[in-house]
A and B are shown apart, each in its own frame.
Chain A
Amino acid sequence: MIPEIQRFGRDFATRSIAPRKKAYDERVLRKGRDEWRVWDPKKSKLGAAMQKGLTDVPLRRGMKILYLGISTGTTASHLSDIVGFEGMIYGIEFSARMVRDLMQVSSQRKNIVPILADARMPENWAQRVEKVDLVYCDVAQRDQSEILMRNAKVFLKKGGHMMIAIKARSIDVAAKPRDIFVQEKQKLSKMFNITSDVNLNPFEKDHAFFVGRMI
Chain B
Amino acid sequence: MTIYVSFSPIGVFASDGNGRERAFVSFPKEPELAARAMQDCMQPKLSREESEIASKLKEKDVLFEIKKEGYKHEFPNPAGDALRKNMILIAEKQRLFKNRMEFLSFVHAVNFELSKSSMQKEPVNDKLIVHAINALDEIERTTNTLAMRLREWYGQYFPEAGYKLSDNKAFSEYISTTLYRSDVRGAEPHDSLGSDISKEDLEEIRVFAKKILEDFKAREELEKYIEMKSKKVCPNTHAILGGMMSARLLAHAGSLERLAKFPASTIQILGAERAFFRFKHGTGSSPKHGVIFNTRYLQSAPRDKKGKIARILAGKLSIALKLDFYGGEFRGDSLKKSVDSALLSQKSSMRPRPQGHSSFNSAVSNRPTSHSHHSNHSQKPRTSEGSKTSGFRSGTTHRPTNNADTRDNGSAFVKPKQNVRPPAKGRGRSACKKRRK
Residue B299 at the chain A interface, CB threshold 8 Å:
no
Task: Tell whether, in the assembled complex, residue A113 and residue B100 are in contact, meaning their CB atoms are under 8 Å apart.
Answer: no
**Roughly how many angstroms separate A213 CA and B133 CA in the complex, as a whole number?**
48
Task: Tell whether, in the assembled complex, residue B84 and residue A155 are in contact, meaning their CB atoms are under 8 Å apart.
Answer: yes
Give the residues in chain B near A99, CB-CB below 8 Å.
Answer: 115, 119
**Roughly how many angstroms separate A113 CA and B116 CA in the complex, as a whole number?**
12
Task: Tell whether, in the assembled complex, residue B84 and residue A123 are in contact, meaning their CB atoms are under 8 Å apart.
Answer: no
Query: Given that A155-B84, A157-B85 are known contacts, is A128 also in contact with B101, CB under 8 Å in the complex?
Result: no
Task: Tell whether, in the assembled complex, residue A116 and residue B75 are in contact, meaning their CB atoms are under 8 Å apart.
Answer: no
Task: Tell whether, in the assembled complex, residue A96 and residue B122 are in contact, meaning their CB atoms are under 8 Å apart.
Answer: yes
Chain B interface: which of A20-28, A53-61, A100-108? Answer: A100-108
Q: How far is the CB of B143 from chain A (nearest CB, A)?
A: 28
Number of interface residues of B (CB under 8 A): 36
Give the residues in chain A near B172, CB-CB below 8 Å.
Answer: none
Task: Tell whether, in the assembled complex, residue A110 and residue B65 are in contact, meaning their CB atoms are under 8 Å apart.
Answer: no
Interface-centre pick from B6, B107, B115, B122 (highest chain A CB count, 10 A): B115
Task: Tell whether, in the assembled complex, residue B84 and residue A126 are in contact, meaning their CB atoms are under 8 Å apart.
Answer: yes
The listed residue (A100, A113, A157, A174) touching B111 by CB distance below 8 A is A113
The 0/1 profile, CB within 8 Å of A marked 1, for residues 118-129 of chain B is 110010000000
Task: Tell whether, in the assembled complex, residue A116 and residue B104 are in contact, meaning their CB atoms are under 8 Å apart.
Answer: no
Chain A interface: which of B202-210, B245-253, B275-283? Answer: B275-283
Task: Tell whether, in the assembled complex, residue A174 and residue B105 are in contact, meaning their CB atoms are under 8 Å apart.
Answer: no
Give the residues in chain B near A90, CB-CB below 8 Å.
Answer: 111
Query: Given that A126-B80, A128-B38, A173-B277 are known contacts, is A106 also in contact with B112, CB under 8 Å in the complex?
Result: yes
The listed residue (B65, B114, B116) touching A128 by CB distance below 8 A is B114
Residue A162 at the chain B interface, CB threshold 8 Å:
no
Task: Tell whether, in the assembled complex, residue B101 and residue A96 are in contact, meaning their CB atoms are under 8 Å apart.
Answer: no
Task: Tell whether, in the assembled complex, residue A116 and residue B108 are in contact, meaning their CB atoms are under 8 Å apart.
Answer: no
Task: Tell whether, in the assembled complex, residue B108 and residue A126 are in contact, meaning their CB atoms are under 8 Å apart.
Answer: no
Interface residues of B (CB under 8 A from A): 6-9, 38, 41-42, 65-66, 75-76, 80-81, 84-85, 87-88, 100-101, 104-105, 107-108, 110-112, 114-116, 118-119, 122, 277, 280-282
8 closest Cβ contacts across the A-B interface?
A123-B75, A113-B111, A96-B122, A174-B280, A131-B84, A131-B85, A114-B115, A116-B118
